[in-house]
Amino acid sequence: MFERLSEIEKRFEELAEEILSPSVYSDPSRSAEIAREQKRLEPIVAAFREYKRAVSARDEAEELLSSGETDLYDLAREQLSESKADIERLESDLKILLLPQDPNDDKNVIVEIRGGAGGEEAALFAADLYRMYSMYAESRRWKVEVVNLNETELGGCKEISFVIDGAGAYSRLKFESGVHRVQRVPDTESSGRIHTSTVTVAVLPEAEEVELEINPADLQIDTYRSSGAGGQHVNKTESAIRITHLPTGLVVECQDERSQHKNKERAMRILRSRLYDKLQSEQSAAIAAERKSQVGTGDRSERIRTYNFPQGRVTDHRIGLSLYKLEAILGGDMDELIDALVTADRAEKLKNAEG
């Protein structure tokens, strides 16, 4: 491990020199590439340098203790205890930092939410989840852009697709894919009986054009008039776009913009990301021998979470975590939940790496 860390530190120093060279300065793409690699290596190098300082402090304390100098004995003993604790903590941190990173972690995400079992109540909860993710994105200063919305008369969402644009969006939201279950008394229920409804969420890393080429001959593009529950979501021109990818049968619709050109551009973003996700899923299935993460990031038929309104409780079934702060979580205060999922995922990967 320490040999690898030394190599990473050396590489980090080489990058610091390279970025100052005139040839790189005049090449924006190379400059950006170096900056990205530096950003990825920086936390590892910082922890490794702190680790080396702790080892040096430990050795110095041991030397003082063995010298027999009584004046410095208590100070040296305290320094030895502190440096040993630092070494243990930093070794653990470095093992986590050296785990293989998900190459998609820094990407924007495309989120697709669909009402499942429960009819209108499921559609209303789908709208609640959209609001939750929007408010979480706002708290992190990420940008949210709706691509397609199919509303109900009561203000629910049969289906909504949106892009979240922000650094590290996928790293924070990738564990949201799956079935979200809600238990509450619907406004339409006069007897006060609790209903259970479900909503499916899919979180896809946004694929860039360079990662996936789409042959225009494989696309069937149709235009139609926007439709919806009424109001501004309905217009009289054929600005809505439906793109069918003929080889896979994937269909993407976009009708949120008045401009046909903008709708087509957004639909292509969604299509590219769905194809990228399909490709990755197939690759993962092909490498099924690889131990699967306990947390998981992709099975959309898996029930991952329950939102219980009578108890004010949110339970994530994958890690057995229950938080009695349902209102806060639905208001976008998701960090405690997401941090627990990230920690569980890292612990599983660490166990697999050591095993």
How confident is the model over 138-192, as pLDDT tens digits?
Answer: 999 999 988 888 888 888 899 898 999 998 899 999 999 999 999 998 876 667 7
Q: Are residues 47 and 134 in the same domain?
A: no
Q: Are residues 191 and 291 in the same domain?
A: yes
- The CATH number assigned to the domain holding 319 equals 3.30.70.1660
One-letter amino acid of 175: F
Instruction: Establish if 86 belongs to a structural domain.
Output: yes
Residues 6+ apart with CB under 8 A from 324: 311, 312, 313
Q: What pLDDT score does 29 carry?
A: 79
Q: Are residues 164 and 284 in the same domain?
A: yes
Q: Residue 214 gets which letter from DSSP?
A: -
Arithmetic mean of pLDDT over the chain: 83
Q: Write phi, then psi, for 301 (nearest 5 degrees).
A: -95, -5
Q: What pLDDT score does 269 carry?
A: 81
CA distance 140 to 134: 10
The average pLDDT across 294-298 equals 47
Name the domain count of the chain: 2
Q: Are residues 279 and 299 in the same domain?
A: yes
Q: Are residues 174 and 275 in the same domain?
A: yes
Residues 6+ apart with CB under 8 A from 191: none
**What SS3 class is residue 316?**
strand
Domain around 320: 109-347
Q: Residue 296 gets which letter from DSSP?
A: -
Q: Are residues 208 and 335 in the same domain?
A: yes
End-of-domain residue from the set 75, 97, 119:
97
Q: Are residues 81 and 141 in the same domain?
A: no
The average pLDDT across 94-108 equals 81
Where does the pLDDT of residue 297 fall: very low under 50, low under 70, confident under 90, or very high at 90 and above?
Answer: very low
Q: What is the pTM of this model?
A: 0.67
